[in-house]
Amino acid sequence: MACCHYYAPSDGGDEAFAVEGAAVTFGAGVLAEAGDHAAALGIRRVALMTDKVLAGLPQVVAVRRSLTAAGLDVVLYDEVRVEPTDDSFKAAARFATEGKFDGFVSVGGGSVIDTCKAANLYSTYPADFLTYVNAPIGGGQPVPGLLKPHIACPTTCGTGSECTGIAIFDLLAMQAKTGIVSRRLRPTQALVDPACTDTLPKNVVAASAFDVLSHALESYTALPYSKRAAPKRPSLRPLSQGANPWSDLGCREALQILGGNMVKGVVEKDATDARHQLMWAATLAGIAFGNAGCHAPHGMSYAVSGLVRDYQPDGYPTGAPIVPHGMSVIVNAPSVFRFTAPACPDRHLRAAGWLGADTRGAGEADAGEVLAGQIIAMMRATGVPNGIGGVGYGEDDIAALTEGSFPQRRLMDNAPRPISKDDLAGLYRSALAYW
């Protein structure tokens, strides 16, 4: 399909792309629909998964009330760990196995939804934990069949996990972030209630929205599907298939929404409509990256969050240091897009324009700088950290950051140009500070 030159055929490259639909119900108040959707899916005994903080908040209360009103037998699991690990995935899987549920409902951010995907998988198709984990760390075995119904209810405007077949966790023994990727993990139904964003702290909206922004930019500038090696069998075509015309649609719309609403949604009090728009952008970008895959800003982010020493942003639970996912991604992004722009300058330039940059008179040679400049302007306007230096890293940390993220092949190989280890170190160096 040579609908644009980006998708021109290449020797040995894939000749088709897949469209994987997510079933989404979007609207203020839809959490109250959970019970009816669950009953319609044939669920009678349901595991309601969330974390300790969310368990007492109105969103979980609303979903629980709805499930109970529909006559379901509801058992709450609130032990989900923020930034889940293999241990916390296994604990959730044990709960799911012992509970003999016929369906799952998750209410929370990406950590909760991802944990619920894993609990559903291991309780439905029990196996040694590494069996389904991405190769080479795990066995990379395909999920054997359909999972039980899972209704996912996101409470932040960021991860898009409700639309994807990806579950990410920290493998403690290797101190590495990895995941399980299968179209079978995609939730059966996403209930996206934008009213969840009304009470989120400013910093949480900023981090979530930058995660969305990077999902859309990375999917749009990813290696085109036609340059990825064709799969050995058509059924083995990966979920992270590279940029494709379907994902492009969601990316364009998400970036335009972000350009018009992101700064307002973060900095203005009571900018309810802007925040609801950000939730829709998160859903669109989730569908896009669920079909295309992210690349280097996400690949680099895992080491940025994993090696954190003492950074503690406002708006997050105090106690443990944390670089929230969206922040750990966006601090790398300007550096990466300066590097990747020569591979597809028109895409970088167009994306910058959708985000609100003035691209008049800009040529292909300016594309990386124009896009990086627009991201940096949005970072400054929303008060997020100034590069990886802003979350506590210095020149001395670059070797460890590089070692930590170089093995993220699923993501790194999806970038539009090859990234060597030296390139990667250079990307971190250029991400130390932007202003």
Instruction: Summarize as ranges the residues that interact with Zn ion (CB under 5 A).
Output: 211
Question: Can you tell me which residue has the tokens 């075995």?
Answer: 141
CA-nearest of 70, 131, 122, 85 to 101 is 122
Least CB distance to Zn ion at residue 325 (A):
6
Enumerate residues 6+ apart whose C-beta is below 8 A from 315.
201, 202, 203, 204
Q: How many Å apart are CA 118 and CA 80, to the nearest integer? A: 11
Is 160 or 194 the residue whose CB approaches Zn ion more closely? 160
Is 283 or 359 the residue whose CB approaches Zn ion more closely? 283
Least CB distance to Zn ion at residue 408 (A):
13
Least CB distance to Zn ion at residue 329 (A):
6
Burial 226-259 (b: 16+ CB within 10 A, else e): bbbebeeeeeebbbbbbbbebbbebbbbbbbbbb
CA-nearest of 209, 407, 217 to 327 is 209
Least CB distance to Zn ion at residue 308 (A):
17
Is 51 or 211 the residue whose CB approaches Zn ion more closely? 211
Least CB distance to Zn ion at residue 128 (A):
28
Helix %, strand %, coil % of the chain (to 5)? 55, 10, 35
Sign, CA dihedral 134-138-139-144, equals: negative
Is 51 or 114 the residue whose CB approaches Zn ion more closely? 114
Least CB distance to Zn ion at residue 213 (A):
10
Is 114 or 211 the residue whose CB approaches Zn ion more closely? 211
- Given a contact cutoff of 8 angstroms between Cβ atoms, the answer to whether 237 and 231 are in contact is yes
Is 14 or 211 the residue whose CB approaches Zn ion more closely? 211
Is 101 or 280 the residue whose CB approaches Zn ion more closely? 280
Least CB distance to Zn ion at residue 40 (A):
31
- DSSP code per residue over 211-266: HHHHHHHHHHHSPBGGGSBPPSSGGG--SS--B-HHHHHHHHHHHHHHHHHHHHHH
Is 67 or 213 the residue whose CB approaches Zn ion more closely? 213
For residue 388, what are the CA distances in angstroms to 126, 214, 300, 434?
40, 16, 11, 9
Is 211 or 248 the residue whose CB approaches Zn ion more closely? 211
Secondary structure (3-state) at 180: strand
Taking CB atoms, the residue at the shortest distance from Zn ion is: 211
Q: How many Å apart are CA 63 and CA 152, to the nearest integer? A: 11
Q: How many Å apart are CA 86 and CA 90, to the nearest integer? A: 6
Is 33 or 51 the residue whose CB approaches Zn ion more closely? 51
Radius of gyration of the chain (CA): 20
Least CB distance to Zn ion at residue 231 (A):
25
Is 255 or 349 the residue whose CB approaches Zn ion more closely? 255
Least CB distance to Zn ion at residue 158 (A):
7
Is 162 or 211 the residue whose CB approaches Zn ion more closely? 211
Least CB distance to Zn ion at residue 75 (A):
30
Secondary structure (3-state) at 192: strand
CA-nearest of 246, 267, 226, 423 to 336 is 423
Least CB distance to Zn ion at residue 205 (A):
15
Enumerate residues 6+ apart whose C-beta is below 8 A from 236.
none
Least CB distance to Zn ion at residue 411 (A):
10
For residue 171, what are the CA distances in angstroms to 22, 87, 100?
28, 8, 26
The Cα angle at residue 434 between residues 433 and 435, in degrees rounded to 5: 105
Question: Can you tell me which residue has the tokens 């992270």?
Answer: 240
